[in-house]
């Protein structure tokens, strides 16, 4: 039982070394990300929103890369839209009128992720909630046993 706690704490340290603290503006840069996203036309918006909500810009960029490949017009088979692949209900809750507007989508996605981090207390649970929904994380008492969700978390947290 206590060996598991040690592994969890080691994983948290590893994630924070990579992306910085999620409770304040991180000091260390994360690993390499897609060159197209780091030099994109929306990089300034990523920087602004990440700073506003106390997240590391590299985490936001990686989330965008995994969710939409940097395509602001992306639509998933399930109906998620834009760079950060926000669902229609999430857009309504966040007051997003145009999910394909780069600024609205990034601002909303980062604000949503910040709220999930505050609610669930860990980046892995917040990402699970971002992918599978907060209700499923709550129902399973942790990361749901869905291959898609587990793969999503791994891709966002890996370089």
The residues assigned a catalytic role are: 67
Contact 98, 72 (CB under 8 A): no
Contact status, residue 124 vs residue 156, Cβ threshold 8 Å: no
In degrees, rounded to 5, the angle at the alpha carbon of residue 48 between the alpha carbons of residues 28 and 56 is 25
């Amino acid at each position: 039982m206590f060996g598991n706690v040690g592994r969890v704490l080691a994983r948290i340290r590893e994630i924070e070394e990579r992306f910085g603290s999620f409770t304040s503006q991180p000091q260390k840069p994360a690993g390499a990300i897609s060159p197209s996203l780091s030099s994109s036309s929306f990089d300034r918006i990523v920087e602004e929103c990440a700073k506003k909500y106390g997240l590391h810009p590299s985490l936001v960029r990686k989330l965008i890369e995994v969710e939409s490949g940097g395509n602001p017009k992306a639509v998933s088979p399930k109906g998620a839209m834009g760079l950060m692949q926000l669902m229609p209900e999430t857009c309504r809750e966040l007051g997003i009128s145009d999910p394909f507007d780069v600024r609205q989508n990034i601002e909303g996605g980062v604000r949503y992720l910040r709220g999930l981090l505050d609610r669930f207390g860990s980046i892995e649970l917040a990402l699970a909630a971002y992918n599978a929904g907060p209700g499923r994380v709550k129902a399973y008492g942790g990361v749901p046993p869905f291959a898609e969700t587990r793969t999503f978390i791994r891709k966002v947290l890996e370089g």
